[in-house]
Structure 1
Amino acid sequence: MKSTLTAIALATAALAAQAQDKVTFLTSWYAQAEHGGYYQAVANGIYKKHGLDVTVKMGGPQVNGVQLLAAGQADFLMGKDFQTLNGIQSGIPLVTVAAVFQFEPQGMVTHPDVKSLADLKGKTILMATSARTSWYPWLKAKYGLTDEQTRPYTFNMQPFFADKNTVQQGYPGSEPYTAQQAGQPVKFFLFADEGYPPYGNTIVAMQKIVKDKPDVVRRFVTATLEGWKSYLQDPAPGNALIKKDNPKMDDGTLAYSHKVMKDMKFFDGGDAARMGPGTMTDARWQKTYELMVQGELLKPMANWKDAYTLQFVKAAKP
């Protein structure tokens, strides 16, 4: 009888050990190399090793990630600092738990004659509507630009190619590759190099999950950072899942974006070089908050620090 009870106890323990916490992660756009670490953590069983059954869902132009997160249809979101701070102001209890990229990868694509961002005066600037509530107020104030210079960016580079007096928004792993394939020489200026403070590719959750399931959050952050470290070393497993989710993604674009992320040290540069991947600091968040207030994108608020927590990046050891 004793041996039977022992066997049952062991079987129950084994089943408990095998149980995986189900987690849904929502990306910010169609699957691409900039999402590679999440897909890698699925492909290589890294999430499972940490007791997580993770589903990665693609975002896109018609997907309201914050709305889905708040409605409980996702547990974590690939977000942005401005988005989280705006959420706090609007009464949506978001919280950033890690920064996968130490720098926001947003920047400006220009023709070769542009020597610096200071040369943008007098240029036509193509940008998406979202730029007006994120990076453009900072850029405009820093370099004395005007709203009259701006035109809509339709995510088609032909207008830029056709007009040498035009510049446009872009990401280092995307638009410069498109230009290269079209035989068009360009320059790329990363806003972070000029002091733009937000983090990039952040992991955002609702404050409730941080309070109620801190161990799940800790394991998700740790496993994700492991996934990114693995992806940057050998992206093949993650790329296979990226192409499965987004069949329009090609090997050339993936390879180019992967190289750019490594070369620009988005994952392991900046503070991460000495404090470890995923790290964030109070000082950087304060700079972003102050930037938003100065740009009248945010009203001063006493609870702005609710937008982030450092507890999980301090605990993560990828």
Structure 2
Amino acid sequence: MLSRRLMLVAAVAGLATACSPKPDEATKSAAGAGGLTEIRFATDWRAQGEQGGFYQALATGEYEKRGLKVTIIQGGPGVNVPQLVSSGAVQMGMGSNSFITLNLAREKAPVKAVAAFFQKDPQVLIAHPGTGVNSIADMKGRPILLADASVTAFWVWLKSKYGFTDAQVRKYNYSLAPFLSDKRAIVQGYLSSEPYTIQKEAGFKPGVFLLADEGYPGYATMVLAPDAMIAGKPEVVRAFVEASAAGWKSYLHGDASKADALILKDNPEMTAELLANAREQMRNYGVVESGDAVTGGVGVMTDARWAEFFKVASEQGVYPKDMDYKSAYSLDFVGKK
């Protein structure tokens, strides 16, 4: 869930250093059986429907027919995907949100986003029904439960657009109990997670407000690749992006059973019901196939969108205004529908 994915900025330097090859080894990608190029792809959380396109590409052979032997390595608490990519512990990884990618640029890490498979960041704010909250603007002055990482992420956009203040922030420890006990409270969540849990376990349908539908410009579920691979093996990067795009289209609109089987194998705590709900929400809200993706294809990114995101974040003091934010991404592998 993205709420939990925001925790992934925690450092795991010891793990990365202990088990990582040198960064330039990412370009070597040893050929496996049949001459396939091996790619270890690290996701940002335990296997779930929000990673379904990658699992679908693996299950249906999209990677293999493009010359890749892909192994998906699921993330979890304490796993820092950007660090694993920059250190060479994996060849590619998933970037949860635009802040993570710009953080890499600020730190001058040799890693870039090469595709964004979620045109809409699935971050939501959730309210009790019948409490006068009919839009995000109506949340001004109300207590909002936020994780620590969210305060330096999408919260800066909310303050900029709606005039929210830090006095509204209440600490969120991923328990819904404080939200359920206070009808005035708002809680952060992930489109396909917390709203479903609230409705199923608390017995009411909450008000769900997708930040992206209110203009939040961040991308999500990006593919991160090391600069050395982008420069030295661009055909490998292109093959991975193209195969993943095909996987996402198939997962949303085709037979997802093989991908779901792989997800359930990797993460036994997942359920078929949750996977079906994730697919439904991604389709209904156009998480993958909306905006620039309609004309530019699944996975597309644009300079204009990145500029808009950086403007908001830098004006709120998250990044220096003179930072080279364009070093955070490459458009060479997307937008050629």
- Could you state the TM-score of these two structures normalised by the residue count of structure 2? 0.86
In the other structure, the counterpart of 1:304 is 325
> Contact between 1:126 and 1:168, CA under 8 Å: does it hold in 2?
yes
Amino acid aligned to 1:42? L
Look up the equivalent residue of 2:54 and give its one-letter code.
Y
Structure 2 CA distance for aligned equivalents of residues 32 and 222 of structure 1: 21
1:190-205 pair list within 5 angstroms? 190-205=210-225
Q: Is the 8 A contact 2:36 2:64 kept in 1?
A: yes
1:175 matched to 2:194: yes
**Partner residue of 1:41 out of 54, 57, 63:** 57
Q: Deviations over 1:32-85 (max 9, x none)?
A: 100001111111111111110001111112111111111101111111221111
**1:230 is aligned to 2:247:** no
How far is 1:302 from its partner?
Answer: 5.0
CA drift at 1:165: 1.0
Distance 2:190 2:284 in 1: 14
Q: CA deviation at 1:170?
A: 0.8
Give yes or no for the alignment of 1:27 onto 2:43.
Answer: yes
Shift of 1:300: 2.1
Does residue 184 in structure 1 map to residue 201 in structure 2? no
Where does residue 157 of structure 2 map in the other structure?
A: 138
Question: What is the one-letter code of the residue matched to 2:206?
Answer: V
Deviation sequence 1:202-230 (CA, Å, 0-9, x none): 11112111001100000000000111111
Q: Equivalents in 1 of 2:32, 2:183: separation in Å?
A: 63
From the superposition, tell whether residues 59 and 132 of structure 1 become closer, same or farther in structure 2 (CA, over 3 Å): same
Quick one: distance in 2 between partners of 1:171 and 1:156?
A: 13
In structure 2, distance between residues paired with 1:29 and 1:188: 23
Structure 2 residue 35 is matched with structure 1 residue 56: no
Higher deviation after alignment, 114-123 or 253-262:
114-123
- Alignment check: 8 A CA contact 2:82 2:224 kept: no
Paired residue for 1:289?
310
Distance in 2, matches of 1:82 and 1:243, equals 29
Call closer, same or farther: CA 1:50–1:258 in 2, change over 3 Å.
same
Q: Does 1:98 align with 2:115?
A: yes
Structure 1: segments with no counterpart, 5+ residues: 1-14
- 2:226 is the counterpart of 1:206: yes
Contact 1:161 1:184 in 2 (8 A): no
Q: Counterpart of 2:147 in structure 1: which amino acid? A: A
**Structure 2 residue 301 is matched with structure 1 residue 280:** yes
- Larger Rg over CA atoms: 1
Match of 2:11 in 1: none
| Structure 2 spans left out of the alignment, 5+ residues | 1-30
CA distance in 1, matches of 2:170, 2:32: 57
Name the SS for the 2:262 alignment partner. helix
- Counterpart for residue 91 of structure 2: 75
Matched residue pairs, number?
Answer: 302
* AA of the residue aligned to 1:166: A
**Cα distance, 1:17–1:163 mapped onto 2, change above 3 Å:** closer
2:265 aligned residue: 244
- Answer yes or no: is 1:258 the counterpart of 2:284: no
What amino acid is the match of 1:286? A
Moved more, 46-55 or 297-306: 297-306
| SS of alignment partner, residue 311 of structure 1 | coil
Question: Residue 70 of structure 2 aligns to a residue in which SS?
Answer: strand
The alpha-carbon deviation at position 303 of structure 1 amounts to 2.4
**Kindly tell me: are residues 304 and 122 of structure 1, through their superposed partners in 2, closer, same or farther at Cα, counting changes over 3 Å?**
closer
Instruction: Write the letter of the residue equivalent to 1:169.
Output: Q
Return the alpha-carbon distance in structure 2 between the equivalents of residues 302 and 19 of structure 1: 41
Q: CA deviation at 1:29?
A: 0.9
My pick for the range that moved more, 138-147 or 28-37, is: 138-147
Q: Secondary structure at the match of 2:279?
A: helix
**What is the CA distance between 1:16 and its match in structure 2?**
10
Cα distance, 1:89 vs structure 2: 1.1
SS where residue 46 of structure 1 aligns?
A: coil
TM-score normalized with structure 1 length: 0.91
Residue identity (%): 44
Structure 2 CA distance for partners of 1:55 and 1:283, relative to 1, 3 Å: same
- Inter-partner Cα distance in structure 1 for 2:237 and 2:291: 24
